[in-house]
Structures are given as C-alpha cells and as structure tokens.
Amino acid sequence: MNDLYQGFTSSALGKQVASMLGLPQPARLERYTEGAPLVDGTVAVGGRGRLADSLVGVLGTLGIAAVASTDADATYKGLVFDATGLTSSDQLVELRDFFTPLLRSLDRCPRVVVLGTPPEQVAGGERVAQRALEGFTRSLGKEIGRGGTVQLMYVAEGSEGSVASTLAFLLSPKSAYVSGQVVRIGAHGAAKPGKVADWTRPLEGKVALVTGASRGIGEQIARVLHRDGATVVGVDVAQAASELQAVMRELEGDHLVLDITAKDAPQRVAHHLKTNHGGVDVVVHNAGITRDKRLMNMAEDRWDSVIAVNLTAPERITRELLDQGVVNQGGSIIGVASIAGIAGNVGQTNYAASKAGVIGLVDSLADELTDGITINAVAPGFIITQMTAAVPFATREVGQRLNAMAQGGLPVDVAEAIAWFASPGSTAVNGNVVRVCGQMMLGA
C-alpha cells in the first residue's frame, strides 16, 4: 500500500513545502531482500569493555565488513559502541567522543548499536552509567533521521558469545522499523547459542507453527520463516481455510484448520505436530482480533472474544505443548503483543488488556522454561494492513506519523523480528518484548 504523503514529500515540490512548513519528511526505508548482504557497507566499531576486542571478528563471521579505527572521510553504514566498560557517569562523555564526529559520515538508513551491561547486574556508579545508556540511545534514535535506527543491547556477564544473531538483525535492513529498543542478552541465564550453519537459512530443518497464518501479518511471518528454511504449519479458522491452504501450498508447508479458542484446540495442535512433524521448534502466537468499544459501552461478548483469542488461547496452547514435550530442545515461543498493551488506546480496554497479558505470559515463563527453550514477544505499532486501511483517513495519517520515522510499518517488519527471535543463534534472547513501531512517541 502506497504512502501518499511520503510520495508527496519525496517530490521536489513536496520537499520544498514540507521544509517551509516544518512537516515531517519520512525517508524510504531499506528492507532486506533475499540473497542481499546483511549490511551493504562498513560498520565502525568503538568503545572499551568486555566485547570490544571480539566485535570485528564476530561481525566478520556474519559477512559484515567492520573496522576498529575510523576515518572522518569515510562513509559508514553502521556504528557499534561497546559501553560495557563505562563504570561512572563522568565516563559517559565517551559516547559523545565516539558518535559526534561520525554521525555526519553515516550512509542513508544507518544502524547504530550500543552494547552495555544489564544495570541490575552491577552496583554504584557503574549501575548509574549503564542505566544512562537507555536515555542516550532512545534520544539518538529520535535524532538520527534518514531512516536510521538506534538500539541498546544489554549483554549479561557470560553471554558475550551469544551476540551474533542479535547484531545480525539490528545492523541489517531486517530491523528497518525497529528503533529505540532495549534488548537483553542472557538476562535469564547464560545460554549457549545454537549452531547456525548458514546465516541466510538459520531455520533449515526446523518446524514452525504460526496461528492466524492466512493473511496480513501472519502470512508474512509464514513467508519469512519459510525463507529462513523452516517448514511452516499454518493455523487458521474455517472461514479462512481456502486462503490458508493456498499460502501453505505455495510455501510447501502444512496447515491445520481450527478455532484456537475451542476446548480441544491445544490437544489437537499438539497431536498434529507430534504425529506429522515429530515436534515443533518455533511457536508463533499471531492470531488476534479487535472488538473496539469504550468500556462504558462494551458488551460481554466483545470483551470475552478478544481475551479468548488474543490471550487465553496462546496460554492454553503453550502450556499443552510444553506439558507434552512437543516443543523441541532449543525451541522458541513468540507472542504478538501490541503497543496498545504498553501505552493503552481509547476504545481498546479489552484489546490492550489481552496484549499486555501476552507480555505477562513472557514474564511468567521466561525463568520457568528448560531445555534452552525461550519465550519473547513483539509489540507492533502502526502496521499498514487491510485492517488499518479501513481506519478513517485523518486518524490513519496521525497514527502513521507519531513515530520517529514518521510512517507506518509493514507486516514484513514484524515477521523479521519474529524470525530473529526464532533463530537458533538467539537462544540467549529470552524474556524480551521488542516494539516494532518505528520508535513510537507513545509508550515506554
């Protein structure tokens, strides 16, 4: 779907009008295409700390050109700064010393990543300095412009060898609509990363379950997981059966038609996965509905149906798969929350409650899971779909512009984040909720 406003501000006249009126001028975001390099350019590495000496080598294993010395005349596609060595607030000036000379040397759609130590792992002045990194990265994300993104990776002691998968995602166009995020590596215990023989197909030989897979975001999730090598088992309701079957046929996958809120749905899903695939490696709870009304006007069925589909069904299915041992060792469970579950939204008390509950599911299970199984969630912001296309024009325009990138995201942006969580290389990424919202101005 074309963004008419972005098209206008990209024209010669539109640029002039937008500049005169101080209007946002959204950049055209670079997104990953199959077969392209992860990073089309050079990444400059700086800082001092636990990861500094290994970063160039780690990026090299991903096929990313990286340098530890910078040249003011060079152009960089990305910057990575190791701030794990900052132990007091006066040392925060090292962030300015590294970034200020280089920000004007960045290519379009650049990627910036700061590495830190989880503040809860340290004390005193070091804790102060490490917590300060969040304000720095979130503010820089709103300054950087030109389609750029800025992220903070808190890497726990002992998890230094588990950063490759996350760096691959955050430095590549796969994270086009993810910015201002804090990702914790090893926050729920050090986990040895799974073997990734081919970074272009990290899910080779894996089985992925995707609910609500017939259209929209769910369809894109299925397509991206298939691109990364997974055999996809799509699930949807009977009304969407023909669309589901067509998508799965194209992806050479499998399908299961059922209502995930049915009493026997968890058992049917578990039986299908065990019988036909010997288990599952990736579980994506994507199916969701909205039934919007202000709470004073909300009928019981509107409340109950949203909670049942968006939250209770993922809870029940997850529990059944875990209890029966259907989720394979090193598997990943991924929920689709929403920015509404973080910031709230008028007329969506039911939806926001359900999506905040998905975040609660991540919190409740992150420390309980064994066998290297992880649980994480994405929280999409304004994603352009058939559903949002039906939103009144003025409301839609405002919704798309209320983020640092001044535009809506695409379903593939959510799918790419889910594929990162699903990668065997992401086994230390556990208990995270990452917003895919272009750094929305609302919410944490």
Give the model's pLDDT for residue 112. Answer: 98
Higher per-residue confidence, 62 vs 443: 62
Higher per-residue confidence, 197 vs 340: 340
Q: Hey, which residues does 78 pair with through a beta bridge?
A: 43, 111
Apex CA 43: angle with CA 37 and CA 46, to 5°?
A: 155
Q: H or E element: which one contains 208?
A: strand 207-211
Give the model's pLDDT for residue 134. Answer: 98
Q: Given a cut of 60, is residue 180 above it in pLDDT?
A: yes
* d(C-alpha 134, C-alpha 115), whole Å: 11
Give mean pLDDT, residues 97-107: 96
Length of the chain: 444
Closest-CA residue to 44 (of 74, 72, 68): 68
Structural domains of the chain in order of their starting residue, each with its CATH number: 1-28 (no CATH), 31-185 (3.40.50.720), 207-436 (3.40.50.720)
Say what percent of the chain tops pLDDT 90.
Answer: 84
* d(C-alpha 390, C-alpha 394), whole Å: 11
Q: Is 399 helix (H, G, I), strand (E, B) or coil?
A: helix
Q: H or E element: which one contains 60?
A: helix 55-61
* d(C-alpha 421, C-alpha 378), whole Å: 9
- Strands (DSSP E) contained in 55-144 are 65-67, 76-82, 106-116
Q: Given a cut of 80, is residue 109 above it in pLDDT?
A: yes
Give the model's pLDDT for residue 207. Answer: 98
Q: Hey, which residues does 112 pair with through a beta bridge?
A: 79, 150
Reading the block at residue 238, the tokens are: 């009977």
Known catalytic residue at 32? no
Tell me the per-residue pLDDT of 362-377, one tens digit each, with 9 for 90 and over: 999 999 999 999 999 9
* d(C-alpha 355, C-alpha 341), whole Å: 5
Tell me the per-residue pLDDT of 276-308, one tens digit each, with 9 for 90 and over: 999 999 999 999 999 999 999 999 999 999 999
**CA distances from residue 80 to 54, 274, 433 in whole angstroms, order as listed:** 12, 43, 22
Give mean pLDDT, residues 229-234: 98
Q: Is 239 helix (H, G, I), strand (E, B) or coil?
A: helix
* d(C-alpha 113, C-alpha 178), whole Å: 12
Q: Which of 14-18, 30-34, 108-112, 182-186 has the lowest mean pLDDT?
A: 14-18
Give the model's pLDDT for residue 443. Answer: 60
Q: H or E element: which one contains 155?
A: strand 149-155
Give the model's pLDDT for residue 190. Answer: 64
Give mean pLDDT, residues 229-233: 98
Answer whether 428's CB lies under 8 Å from 373's CB.
Answer: no
Question: What average pLDDT does the structure give for the chain?
Answer: 94
Higher per-residue confidence, 27 vs 202: 202
Tell me the per-residue pLDDT of 1-58, one tens digit each, with 9 for 90 and over: 677 777 777 777 877 777 887 777 788 999 999 999 999 999 999 999 999 999 999 9
Name the pTM for this structure. 0.95
Tell me the per-residue pLDDT of 80-100, one tens digit each, with 9 for 90 and over: 999 999 999 999 999 999 999
Closest-CA residue to 276 (of 329, 371, 207): 207
Higher per-residue confidence, 188 vs 129: 129
DSSP state of 316: H
Apex CA 342: angle with CA 336 and CA 346, to 5°?
A: 105
Give the model's pLDDT for residue 238. Answer: 97
Of the pLDDT bands very low, low, confident and very high (cuts 50, 70, 90), residue 195 is confident
Give the model's pLDDT for residue 420. Answer: 98
User: Which of 5, 154, 177, 351 does the annotation list as catalytic?
Assistant: 351
Tell me the per-residue pLDDT of 114-170, one tens digit each, with 9 for 90 and over: 999 999 999 999 999 999 999 999 999 999 999 999 999 999 999 999 999 999 999
